[in-house]
Amino acid sequence: MRHHGQRHSRYAGRRPDTCPAIRTDFRRYVMRTLTTRAACFLAVLSFFALWHDSGHAQTARSQTADEAAIRALVAQYVDAREQQSAQAIEVLFTKDADQLTSSGEWRSGRDQLVRGALASSQRTGGTRTITVERVRALAPDLAIADGRYEISGLPGGGSRRMWTTFIMAHGPDGWRIAAIRNMLPASPPATSPAPR
């Protein structure tokens, strides 16, 4: 006699290991499950591989673009100095930028830096050129650029050859100059003859 609501199967009461049909169904179930999980696993691996590769490509493109932007910023700085334009110089710097000149003068803050740059250009004259030798990333939004700095056509036909280092910071408005350090190479001191 069947109870109401009770389901019966032709496999009811049989052990899985003694019924070929049950064993076959069970094996099919296991294979489907394993196949599905393997497919999901491979899909996840493929996604992460593509994401990893695209991330590296984007990083390489970003580094190339950043270096180009930094070199262009240095060129803009030189042009602004040659034009002796306060506005053109000001927009290139962060608000808290500073500079140490080769003569040992500190210029702290954007306003002081602009005034000092204009005064220096008017005082010395000549033509300024900066040749960037290398750009190196310090952090995603911070970089250092080193270059040869020359002022040619000085009174008397002389020139002044120095090194300069720019610290560049990236913000909402793109790359800006955060600091400048100028250095005038000095000749090593003459050595005294050894006492006899």
- CATH number, position 165: 3.10.450.50
Judge whether 3 lies within some domain: no
The pLDDT value recorded for residue 29 is: 64
Taking residues 78-94, report their average pLDDT.
96
Domain assignment present for residue 21? The answer is no
Q: Which domain holds residue 153?
A: 54-183
Q: What is the 3-state secondary structure (H, E, C) of the chain?
A: CCCCCCCCCCCCCCCHHHCHHHHHHHHHHHHHHHHHHHHHHHHHHHHHHHHHHHHHHHHHHHHHHHHHHHHHHHHHHHHHHHHCCHHHHHCCEEEEEEEECCCCCEEECHHHHHHHHHHHHHHHCCEEEEEEEEEEEEECCEEEEEEEEEEECCCCCCCEEEEEEEEEEEECCEEEEEEEEEECCCCCCCCCCCCC
CA distances to 82, 91, 152, 155, 179 from 87, in Å: 13, 6, 24, 27, 18
Q: Could you report the per-residue pLDDT of 108-120, keeping only the tens digit for each? A: 999 999 999 999 9
Write the single-letter amino acid at 173: D
Beta strands 174-183; 93-100: pairing state: parallel
Vertex 99: Cα angle to 95 and 114 (nearest 5): 60
For residue 78, give the nearest of 143, 119, 132 by alpha carbon.
132
Q: Is residue 91 part of a domain?
A: yes
Question: What pLDDT, in 10s, does the model give residues 95-104?
Answer: 999 999 998 9
| Mean pLDDT value across residues 39-64 | 57
Kindly report, residue by residue over 4-23, the tens digit of the pLDDT.
545 545 545 555 555 555 55
pLDDT of residue 91: 98
Residue 15 lies in a domain: no
Instruction: Kindly state whether residue 140 falls inside one of the protein's structural domains.
Output: yes
Among 89-103, 107-121, 182-196, name the one with the lowest average pLDDT: 182-196
Confidence band for 54, pLDDT divided at 50, 70 and 90: very low
The pLDDT mean for the chain works out to: 81
The reply to whether 102 falls in a domain is: yes
Residue 117 inside a domain? The answer is: yes
Total-model pTM: 0.66
Structurally, the chain folds into a number of domains equal to 1
